[in-house]
Structure 1
């Protein structure tokens, strides 16, 4: 039996050895495939990171766009009356000049009284929209609100103080529509 046993063992070895060689060859192939797979994975991860960065930048750009749009809409709403106010201010100045006329008879007095009522309504309507008169006389000169057209020497006022207002200035909320034209003490 030992010869039979040896013969069977030889046959088993002949079948097993080629399979072991095939397995060794598969390991070599899979090492190469692993290297390719690892390169492919690294490449895909790099593309994924790039895509994520692009997405984050696009999201940030979109958020900035929405914020700017909201701020623009708020500013447009806040200053919607600016063009109308700019056109009405000269008429308001003319009303002020007309109201300075001295009335001699009753007809003129009643006409001036009617004009004064219209003037007050116009001022009230502008105030309701956020228009304010820029105060000037007796205050320090501020180039953001005042336009100096003359300089005078007056001992009753401190240096760089507004002495007289030649034309009223107006602002709409926090934006200057027209600076006040003033005389400034040296």
Structure 2
């Protein structure tokens, strides 16, 4: 990692995750800033999508700016806390990896320390991206089930259209 001088930090959290899992933006930023300092990297920019629970990268303004800055050669690496912060969608993760590789930008996951430039590293990323997508799908099903149950018990304030969606989706 000697050729890295400048890194971009990307953080994301949905409102539900922050409340339920403690993935606060402040905690992610603090951890990643310390990690960059440990390696002597300058932080070119911090990109934060807070309170956004998009299933894909298109609905995230900071991610879109990150991609534009990758194309503009503003840093040598992107640093994220955990692969699921990048995307819950395996295809989006792989598309981002290809984009970053095309522009010579390394991907560094703080909590999953491995080299994405090697074949085994790439395989591990693909497996982890699959797991992140499965976690997202499971979370979505659990939320729907909980909302359906609350609606059936009468403790959820939803309109008729939303109630129909949760009961029959």
Normalising by the smaller structure, the TM-score range is: under 0.3
The higher relative CO (CA closer than 8 Å, separation ≥ 6) is in 2
Question: Normalized against structure 2, the TM-score is what?
Answer: 0.22
More helix by share: 1
**Bigger Rg, structure 1 or 2:** 1
